[in-house]
Structure 1
């Protein structure tokens, strides 16, 4: 009988590939990175036996000045890893304070994520690993054993923009099983972000779940739209499918988004159980979203009782030609005269927008427009914006 040598060969090949895959899998599992120690120091490790130099960069390191499309800004520093006998490079930090941190490796000049850490977030076009050192305000960023809300990605019709658009909406714990009506916070992202930014980078669901469970914030719906009016959804989630995200997209700050914002309010108030009045509407945003918050709340001066400007991009723009920007002083005064409960401004001391925010505050002072001002450490970073949300949300709808 003629023997079939092909089947044993296939078996050996399959066994070999399987063994290789398992070896790679187990080798990765044997490397713990990052390892958070009892004193809150953190050890990073990466297996790179042929590398000549390995560094780690992240926001747990002292900042350095770097040039960006927005000018000179603070950026993460770098630290050198030390190579061990087994080809595993290591670096141990000092004790770190409570925070959600991000980091990546640089291997022989090539930036890469940590193969031993599957937890990543995307900020514009960059993906970095994350970890949390618990305690204090960082416990708000954790998924704890408490009741949880629901995060939904919905599509809504925007007649003002002529397309259906994707939107992220958080409903508080118990929403589905109750008949109660809820207040709404409209939470806007910055340049380069989209409807995924606040839920992923901002940890909005975790922050709201924890604040509500602790009785520090009222149960509310949080609406996170896409502020890029030429997109129907985030890169990879809209009709253009997969393409590289960009920092600044055309028409994001020319008045188009602000002018069509009523489409979002109409969708929310016709699709969810909400308290559809000024006293139960809030709007806030970071950077470009702070710019949008300023102008949307002024353009619709009797719509929101709560405004939050987080590191707002308050600056003149050549493309700001839409009717939304007409009669700025008059509409701002109309907003003031209509009355509101909270106009909240927060900015980091080293934020590149610090001076512009101080100039805007001087303008509010001159017209005697009430506001609250919070000045924090740090610059134009998510670390600040997560904290601002955790400080702003408890002030709403009381």
Structure 2
């Protein structure tokens, strides 16, 4: 074999090793499902794992991202560019390597008329993913965020269960008080339609964030919350978010920032909001920690 051919083959082998290594270490977005007892069916979710997950020996912080009305868990990656945004923030050191879980709900993240989405999230999804994947155990490593109906869900869950989440974000949250606007899809969503197919105002009130607000304000523990909305939002998300912000600020001064972006109730606004929302949440979440040996047994 000639020296030139030997060098070329060596270079090709080295390139193959490097390519394989990069593929192994690159961040990954995958889709999964498991059986949910609460739902009585499979529960799908989309998962982001950071670069180096499989050989890092670390347990990671996790952020649950909730989709909007009639959306899916895949929206965050297909429309929101979650992978690109997370990769960039991690590469720049703006956030630590982290896991993102993007579940699917048919019921606005509440125990609605059509399915017990809230119970399935708390009792099935969270225990499942935090056992299966290397997620650091404890509130200090767990955040929750959402857009539109998912923002509504994330606000409800953080207020009802502040012991579970160290930070939250709500992008154009559909946290409408006292009732949804007449053009809101909440008024036609099966989660809130009674047996006569009519929007149930009492049901909405009993499930909205105001039902959890007094209890949350009476305790010392706080969950820092990032809010955003579009300047031309057709559901007045700016106004509703400011009312939510005003209710929380006396309890947690400086921990309910709000940004208004140019645009409506659209992915243009949510994509613009995503990076600042994540950067805010990770100011309050702990970094990865060495995996407990007991979790490897």
Quick check: TM above 0.5?
yes
Whether the 8 Å contact between 1:255 and 1:320 is mirrored in structure 2 is no
Describe the superposition over 1:279-320 as per-residue Cα deviations: whole angstroms up to 9, x where unpaired.
100100000000000111122221000100110001136243
Q: Once the 2 structures are TM-superposed, how far is the Cα of residue 323 of structure 1 from its aligned partner?
A: 6.8
Residue 121 of structure 2 is aligned to residue 261 of structure 1: yes
CA distance in 2, matches of 1:360, 1:287: 14
Q: Once the 2 structures are TM-superposed, how far is the Cα of residue 173 of structure 1 from its aligned partner?
A: 0.6
What residue number does 2:226 align with?
A: 344
Whether the 8 Å contact between 1:181 and 1:275 is mirrored in structure 2 is yes
Residue 239 of structure 2 is aligned to residue 355 of structure 1: yes
More strand by share: 1
What residue number does 2:5 align with?
A: none
Equivalence map 1:232-243=2 (5 Å)? none
Whether the 8 Å contact between 1:192 and 1:249 is mirrored in structure 2 is no
Describe the superposition over 1:191-224 as per-residue Cα deviations: whole angstroms up to 9, x where unpaired.
1211111110011111111211222221000000
- Cα distance change on mapping 1:153 and 1:280 into 2, 3 Å: same
Where do 5+ consecutive residues of structure 2 fail to align?
A: 1-22, 181-200, 287-297
Residue 53 of structure 2 is aligned to residue 175 of structure 1: yes
- Cα distance change on mapping 1:325 and 1:258 into 2, 3 Å: farther
The structure having more radius of gyration, on CA atoms, is: 1
TM-score of the superposed pair, with normalisation by structure 1: 0.54
Q: Tell me, what secondary structure is at the counterpart of 1:379?
A: coil
Whether the 8 Å contact between 1:254 and 1:322 is mirrored in structure 2 is no
Residue correspondences, number: 233
Larger RCO (alpha carbons 8 Å, 6+ apart):
2
CA distance in 2, matches of 1:269, 1:250: 21
Q: Once the 2 structures are TM-superposed, how far is the Cα of residue 254 of structure 1 from its aligned partner?
A: 8.2
Q: Tell me, what secondary structure is at the counterpart of 2:35?
A: strand
What residue number does 2:276 align with?
A: 391
- Cα distance change on mapping 1:391 and 1:363 into 2, 3 Å: same
What residue number does 2:150 align with?
A: 289
Quote the RMSD (CA, aligned, Å). Answer: 2.8
TM-score of the superposed pair, with normalisation by structure 2: 0.70
Whether the 8 Å contact between 1:282 and 1:305 is mirrored in structure 2 is yes
Describe the superposition over 1:227-249 as per-residue Cα deviations: whole angstroms up to 9, x where unpaired.
215xxxxxxxxxxxxxxxxxx99
What residue number does 1:189 align with?
A: 67
More helix by share: 2
